[in-house]
Amino acid sequence: MLDENEDFLENQFTEDDSSADENSGLFEHLNIKVDKNQEPLRIDKFLLIHRQNSSRNKISQTCRAGNVVVNGNPVKQNYRVKPGDEISVLLAHPPRENVIIPQDIPINIVYEDDDLVVVDKDPGMVVHPGFGNWDGTLVNALAFHFSKDPNYNSDLDRVGLVHRIDKDTSGLLVIAKNEYALSHLAKQFFDRKTKRLYWAFVWGNVQDDEGTVTGHIGRHPKNRMQMYTYVDGSHGKHAVTHYKVLERFRYMTWVECKLETGRTHQIRAHMKHIGHTLFNDERYEGNIIMRGVNLPKYKQFVQNVFEVLPRHALHAHTLGFIHPVTKKELYFESPMPKDMQEASERWRKYLENN
């Protein structure tokens, strides 16, 4: 999955060859009825689109174990799915119970038709249920919204979630309403054909007006809550971020970021790598005063801005893609959220007076 947060959800395909000879005692982790409009596609690629948090190697291992079943029969990874096929993935361990409860939570829907929804997510809202956040998420809100549509497939996995952004990142997301739209949109993300720009406030005065950060993104060697940039490519996954300065605030810079790849915390890790951690990004130590002057007045000013913008300053500003059915290009822009707007206005006033 390609996004500022890349690897979507947790691995659900695991290596388990103990049941290679028979399917007794296995648990069904996935069941898909292939859409009538689906073009022939290798099943390992098909499952990678529907479970992009996994890897082709793990999917192949599951096929070799005889645990990928089509129309009741185990298939190899080169099997080509056809319209109407019923696909099941069977594993030796039971799936985690995770019933999505529809909840009447306000969300900002900027576009909707029979196939998809585009949402402008507020900061602070978790996208999907998970450990510690089983309700109150965007998925819970969408489940409620879709429950009013008699034509919606309530069995669609994760309420058609195609990609995600962090809890404290605001901005645009697209959600599929049927399997065909989900597959088509996921493929666009996978092939890097979507048009997305992010706005970020970063610490410091970025030297160049435009630039590119290249370096593998992987887990930090010491702090497992952070991602880290490995310039030598020794760990992680290849990642490229292009940035452009939009406005300078002397000790902080407003930049526009375009992702050539999509890795977990890519913008946050890449900007920290070049010495410009996101403003008020607690996980990456951006919630301390990293630039400026050693004056009580300045320190108090920054603390006041932190209160106005109580999260990392990152916003998914644009989203463009090809509609899976009409084949027309759709393009959306989300204005700067109030907290980032207020923070920028305070910086401008501070610079005028100091």
Cite the active site residues: 166
Do the bridges between strand 170-176 and strand 197-203 make them parallel or antiparallel, or are there none, so unpaired? Answer: unpaired
CA–CA separation, 108 vs 334, rounded Å? Answer: 11
**C-alpha to C-alpha distances, 98 to 52, 103, 133, 190, nearest whole angstrom:** 19, 15, 11, 26
Which residue type is seen at 107? I
- The alpha carbon dihedral of 240, 242, 285, 262 has a sign of negative
Residue keyed to tokens 């994760």: 158
CA angle 343, 209, 304 (to 5 degrees): 15
Neighbouring C-alpha atoms within 13 Å toward the C-beta of 114: 5
DSSP of 172-198, one letter per residue?
Answer: EEEEESSHHHHHHHHHHHHTT-SB-EE
**Strands of 240-248's sheet in order across:** 108-112, 116-121, 170-176, 314-316, 197-203, 252-259, 240-248, 210-214
